[in-house]
């Protein structure tokens, strides 16, 4: 083969190689997100399997949103930092099914006399719609945009009527121990790249995911939704089904569909009715 023919075929080979690498990267990315869903499901099952160290059922039943963020790593030497990635689900009413999961990240800093590293599984329970809708611009600063408190555990559930509800309750499991944790100042943000990978749609928004307008979620999301539905005593939602608009009457024969509810989790020119 002549040098001219070889050189002319190089661009085509390079383009083919780039395409193959892109396909491999997309497949690997999707596998990473599915692994994160499975890990979050295991965290929820293991934590709720501990009778004396668990999120009280009464609190989960009052939740409008639940975030599970496994393996949040904290590293400190005088100044410290915390970071991890997980998922968030929401619902429009306390009897409604949970939405498909959207991926989120959590990070924050601290300072003072401290040193070392540790990894924790974080659970956040949102008890008001404001706590969910307050993730303006795609992120929420805990303690500033919404009040946050360390959550009660286990049999403290019997004192439910004596506890003033915060907008968010926070929990952490570290080395087998489970309890409330202070996360004031930490930031939770929508992980747009992970959402695009998991749902196979570039630019998919949290609003589309929460309202059921995104592509169907992979089967790995169904186990998480089933476990959460069991704990909160709500109907099990198919991971590919759309959520009905809030306040809509029970479905009659097909009629003109109302616009889906929007959650202002990313910048968008959409108004939200309260």
Q: At 74, phi and psi to the nearest 5?
A: -115, 125
Q: To 10 degrees, what angle do helices 220-232 and 3-48 make? A: 20
Radius of gyration for the chain, computed over Cα atoms and rounded to the nearest angstrom? 21
- Strands (E) across the chain are located at 65-90, 102-126, 139-141, 148-150, 168-174, 177-180, 187-190
Q: Could you give the CA distance from residue 108 to residue 139 in angstroms, rounded to a whole number?
A: 12
At 143 the pLDDT is 82
pLDDT in tens, the chain (274 residues): 455 444 455 455 445 444 444 344 444 447 889 999 999 999 998 888 887 778 888 898 889 999 999 988 766 555 567 789 999 999 989 989 999 999 999 987 655 445 556 778 999 999 988 878 766 457 888 888 888 888 888 655 554 544 566 899 989 887 655 565 667 788 899 999 999 999 999 999 998 999 889 999 898 899 999 989 988 888 876 655 455 443 444 444 445 545 545 445 444 444 444 4
3-state helix, strand, coil in the chain (%, to 5): 35, 25, 40
Listed by start position, the domains of the chain span 57-232
Smallest Cα–Cα separation from 168: which of 67, 97, 98? 67
């Amino acid at each position: 083969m002549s040098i001219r023919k070889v050189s002319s075929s190089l661009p085509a080979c390079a383009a083919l190689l780039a395409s193959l690498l892109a396909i491999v990267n997309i497949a690997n990315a999707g596998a990473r997100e599915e692994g994160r869903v499975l890990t979050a499901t295991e965290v929820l099952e293991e934590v709720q399997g501990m009778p004396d160290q668990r999120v009280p059922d009464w609190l989960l039943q009052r939740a409008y949103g639940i975030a599970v963020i496994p393996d949040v790593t904290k590293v400190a030497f005088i100044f410290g930092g915390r970071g991890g990635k997980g998922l968030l689900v929401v619902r429009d009413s306390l009897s409604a099914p949970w939405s498909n999961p959207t991926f989120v990240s959590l990070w924050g800093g601290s300072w003072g006399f401290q040193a070392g590293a540790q990894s924790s599984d974080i659970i956040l329970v949102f008890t008001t719609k404001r706590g969910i809708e307050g993730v303006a611009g795609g992120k929420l600063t805990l303690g500033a945009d919404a009040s946050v408190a360390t959550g009660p555990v286990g049999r403290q559930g019997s004192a439910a009527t004596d506890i003033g509800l915060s907008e968010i309750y926070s929990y952490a499991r570290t080395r087998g121990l489970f309890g409330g944790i202070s996360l004031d100042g930490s930031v939770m943000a929508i992980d747009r790249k992970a959402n695009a990978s998991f749902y196979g749609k570039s630019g998919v928004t949290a609003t589309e995911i929460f309202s059921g307008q995104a592509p169907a979620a992979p089967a790995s999301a169904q186990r998480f939704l089933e476990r959460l539905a069991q704990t909160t005593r709500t109907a099990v939602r198919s991971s590919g089904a759309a959520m009905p608009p809030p306040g809509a009457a029970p479905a009659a024969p097909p009629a003109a569909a109302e616009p889906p509810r929007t959650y202002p989790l990313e910048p968008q020119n959409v108004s939200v009715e309260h």
